[in-house]
Amino acid sequence: MMFARRALFQSHVNRIASIRRHPAITSRDFSSTQLPNGITLAYDLHEPPKGSTAKAQDAPPIVFIHGLFGSKKNNRSMSRVLARELSRPVYAIDTRNHGDSSHDPRHDYTALAEDVELFLQEHKLEKSTLIGHSMGAKTAMTIALRHKVPIGSLISIDNAPVDAALKSDFGKYVQGMKRIEEAKCKRQSDADAILATYEESLPIRQFLLTNLVRDPETGTQKFRIPIKYLAAALDNMADFPFKDPDEARYNGPTLMVRGTKSRYVADEMLPTIGRFFPKFQLADIEAGHWVVSEKPEEFRKAAVDILSQERD
């Protein structure tokens, strides 16, 4: 079974690698923006290939928002692909309490939405396409429904605008990460052995362990994300700030991408989605919750198809 999971993970890596190799795409070392609310957001900017037409250079940007325990690195390969194929700049951001962004005790969808709105305003990004996965999907939907900044279109990946309990796995991940820090591991392999008692999937463990960094003073492995804040925020991540579709609606182009093996966007949620987002289209991809990493080519096609229609 373990060999099968390793083979599956390697196939995912190979598929992503096969669409990321393109020398014309330019990416910069990550930058950061100090927001008026005191939060600093880190981001990677993936620019269109050199030689793009003036029309392409003026194209509205894409902003990619990762999920819980993720970072901008998760979306690096797909961001490069979208920048190339759509000739649009792609900003892959770290939300507060993730990646290289600053930490804050408050972690809910209103706060996350406000951060991204301020980021868009600071960079003067208008009519952006927001793409979000999981936590990032609910953040993007919240932004669209708040109407504080002009949004061109929305792509939500495997989450719905409803209050719905997180899978119990997320609570287990927090327990495992706390145990790793308590054990003061010096090798990532030791941290992985601890986490394996909470999560048997190698790809998911490797995803979570991307948050490990070595303390230069003690040599021990620690998490760069504030586990205490995120553990306290798990209930917030299950909620959605808008309850009544008659009071908030986004009428722009919307693509709802769901993994058919996931339970986060069930059929019974589709009517509610349609009331919040009347112009939504549905793309079913045979995958679990981690749609982009599991089926990158299928996601790429769905995203490029709808965004190309938007440009026509």
The tens place of each residue's pLDDT in the chain, 312 residues long, gives: 433 344 444 444 444 443 333 334 444 567 999 999 999 999 999 999 886 654 555 789 999 999 999 999 999 999 999 999 999 999 999 999 999 999 999 999 999 999 999 999 999 999 999 999 999 999 999 999 999 999 999 999 999 999 987 777 889 999 999 999 999 999 999 999 999 999 999 989 999 999 999 989 899 999 999 999 999 999 999 999 999 999 999 999 999 999 999 999 999 999 999 999 999 999 999 999 999 999 999 999 999 999 998 665
Nearest to 61 by CA among 47, 77, 74: 47
Q: Are 25 and 46 in contact (CB under 8 A)?
A: yes
Task: Give me 259's structure tokens.
Answer: 């993994």
Can you tell me which residue has the tokens 């690698």? 17
Q: How far apart are CA 180 and CA 193, in angstroms?
A: 9
- Euclidean distance between the first and the last CA atom of the chain, given in angstroms as a whole number: 47
**For position 55, what pLDDT does the model report?**
52
The residue annotated as part of the active site, out of 71, 87, 289, 293, is 289
> Alpha-carbon torsion 229, 230, 234, 235, what sign?
positive
The residue annotated as part of the active site, out of 134, 153, 262, 293, is 134
Count CB-CB contacts under 10 A for residue 163. Answer: 10
Give pairs for 191-194: CB < 8 Å, separation 24+.
191/221
Burial 96-108 (b: 16+ CB within 10 A, else e): bbbbbbbbeeebb
**For position 169, what pLDDT does the model report?**
85
Which domains are assigned to the chain? 2-161+251-311 (3.40.50.1820), 169-231 (no CATH)
Half-sphere exposure in the Cβ direction for 119 (13 Å, CA) = 31
Q: How far apart are CA 308 and CA 221, in angstroms?
A: 44
Our answer to whether residue 308 is catalytic in this structure is: no
Q: How far apart are CA 98 and CA 225, in angstroms?
A: 5
Our answer to whether residue 262 is catalytic in this structure is: no
Count CB-CB contacts under 10 A for residue 63. Answer: 26
| 101: CB partners within 8 A, 6+ apart | 32, 39, 40, 41, 42, 93, 94, 95
Nearest to 161 by CA among 263, 239, 268: 239
